[in-house]
Structure 1
Amino acid sequence: MLELNFAQSVGLFAFLVGASAFLHQNGNRFRLHLTVFQVVLCSHFILMGAFTAAFGCGISALRSYASTKTKSNKVMWFFITLLWLMGLPSLQHIYELLTIFGASVATWGLFQTEGIKLRILILFNSFCWLANNLLLGSIGGTLMESTFIIVNLYTISRMLTSRRTA
């Protein structure tokens, strides 16, 4: 049975912060909101002792912010390389590779795509993190990624609808 302690409470707070990020249709607002969410989530994973996930979130926060300022391939590859160099040595469980892989795909998406394509790549990342959070036992993380998937699918459908009417 999972207990609701301080670490889980921080995860639930991150869930609330993050859920609203996926409602943004504007790419830069979405990226900036993701930055704030990832900082809070990083704290949750540190408190849970899940350092691979914490590294991934910390790097992802910096990456999300950087993607609002530049679309440089060098910067993108720096963050992808950093994810792998920091993440691999801290692996405690094989399923934690999902967080590194998902974050790498999301990084590519944040620097190389916009609109619906970006949302689909972020959706893939959410599925990777959902699997990690289920296996880790993170209540907030599991609720968060499940909600992100639903809200992101809703926003994608809104974007598709507005594209058809335009």
Structure 2
Amino acid sequence: MTPFLLSQILVGMAICTDLLSFQGKGRKHILVCLIISSSLISLHFVLLEHWTAAGLGLLAGIRFVTSYFTTSKKAMSVFVCCSLLIGIVTYSGVLSLLSCTGAICNTVGSFCSTDRRMREIMFLGTCFWLTHNILAHSPTAVLLECLFLSSNIVGYYRYYVVRPAQTGTLSH
């Protein structure tokens, strides 16, 4: 089995956890799924030798574990600084800029105290990662980000567009 094929299988496994992530209402449910997904995605980028993305994926797993227990802005700041450091140390052009920007957005999102705000900020981070994965020529990772974005939008719609409208209808 080639490293590329194995990398695509790992992302396929990450897709499953990403799809589950935003279909639950609870912030902690979302974060547990993202911990698993980030680990698999990091290994995927190691196999593709995209070192900035691999380092940021590993850092994301650690960040999601931390943000499971705290929404401290100090902790968030540490992870933003670590993302920047990884981006600088492993810099290799536009892919490093895209992955670092996406990681910073997702860092800010994961330390939000509500899942609604977390979803909103992660919309943006996902767009940076989607662009990164297109340019990195990883078709399964592109699919992963498209599905992650779609799942996030569906979850957001279910919990923050439809339910408030239904609640408003019931109260009249």
TM-score (norm. length: structure 2): 0.89
Percent of paired sites with the same residue = 23
Cα RMSD (Å) of the superposition?
Answer: 1.6
- Give the aligned partner of residue 71 of structure 1: 71
Between 1 and 2, higher relative CO (CA 8 Å, sep ≥ 6) is seen in 1
Amino acid across the alignment from 2:163: S
* CA contact 2:105–2:121 (8 Å) conserved in 1: yes
* CA contact 1:11–1:139 (8 Å) conserved in 2: no
Amino acid across the alignment from 1:39: S
Distance (Å, rounded) in 2 between the aligned partners of 1:96 and 1:138 = 15
- Give the aligned partner of residue 140 of structure 2: 140
- Give the aligned partner of residue 38 of structure 1: 38
* CA contact 2:134–2:142 (8 Å) conserved in 1: yes
SS of structure 1 residue aligned to 2:111: helix
* CA contact 1:12–1:139 (8 Å) conserved in 2: no
* CA contact 2:71–2:113 (8 Å) conserved in 1: no
Q: Highest CA radius of gyration, 1 or 2?
A: 2
Deviation of 1:117 after TM superposition, in Å, equals 1.8
SS of structure 2 residue aligned to 1:71: coil
Distance (Å, rounded) in 1 between the aligned partners of 2:87 and 2:61 = 15
* CA contact 1:126–1:149 (8 Å) conserved in 2: yes
- Give the aligned partner of residue 90 of structure 2: 90
* CA contact 2:45–2:53 (8 Å) conserved in 1: yes
Deviations 1:90-135 (A, max 9, x none): 1222132121112112211221341322101111111110000000
Distance (Å, rounded) in 2 between the aligned partners of 1:45 and 1:57 = 8
SS of structure 1 residue aligned to 2:135: helix
Structure 2: any 5+ residue segments left out of the alignment?
A: 168-172
Distance (Å, rounded) in 1 between the aligned partners of 2:28 and 2:52 = 27
TM-score (norm. length: structure 1): 0.92
* CA contact 2:95–2:136 (8 Å) conserved in 1: no
Amino acid across the alignment from 2:129: W
Distance (Å, rounded) in 1 between the aligned partners of 2:111 and 2:37 = 18
Taking a change above 3 Å as real, the CA distance of residues 105 and 4 of structure 1, as seen in their structure-2 partners, is: closer
SS of structure 2 residue aligned to 1:137: coil
Give matches, 1:112-131, under 5 Å.
112-131=112-131
SS of structure 2 residue aligned to 1:24: coil
Deviation of 1:4 after TM superposition, in Å, equals 6.0
Amino acid across the alignment from 2:49: G
Distance (Å, rounded) in 1 between the aligned partners of 2:4 and 2:53 = 19
Distance (Å, rounded) in 2 between the aligned partners of 1:130 and 1:123 = 11
- Give the aligned partner of residue 164 of structure 1: 165
Deviation of 1:164 after TM superposition, in Å, equals 3.1
- Give the aligned partner of residue 47 of structure 1: 47
Aligned length: 164
- The structure 1 segments of at least 4 consecutive aligned residues displaced by more than 6 Å after TM superposition are none
